[in-house]
């Protein structure tokens, strides 16, 4: 029987944040890397992927979308 970990946008955002240096982010990345070694299959819903991509790209593009 497979053991599956389904990531929501919160944990996914923690482990994919390239600028994070706090212990929480580092521990999250280590946790995610350890799951396959323990026999878990890591999956994420498509909506979680969309939310994380929207949040990471949306804040940097706000200024470029506005016109004066």
The residue among 61 and 53 whose pLDDT is bigger is: 53
Q: How far apart are CA 13 and CA 50, in angstroms?
A: 11
Residue 43's DSSP bridge partners are 6
- For residue 53, give both structure tokens: 């991509």
Which pTM value belongs to this model? 0.68
Sketch the domain layout of the chain as residue ranges. 3-62
Residue 22 is predicted with a pLDDT of 83
pLDDT in tens, 12-37: 888 888 777 888 888 989 999 999 99
Residue 58 is predicted with a pLDDT of 53
Q: How far apart are CA 9 and CA 51, in angstroms?
A: 6
- Rounded to the nearest integer, the mean pLDDT of the chain is 81
């Amino acid at each position: 029987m497979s053991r599956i970990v389904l990531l929501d946008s919160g944990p996914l955002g923690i482990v994919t944040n390239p600028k994070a240096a706090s212990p929480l982010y580092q521990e999250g990345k280590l946790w995610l890397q350890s799951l396959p070694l323990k026999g878990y299959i890591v999956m994420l819903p498509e909506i979680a992927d969309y939310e994380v991509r929207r949040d990471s790209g949306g804040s940097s593009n706000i200024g470029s979308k506005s016109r004066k």
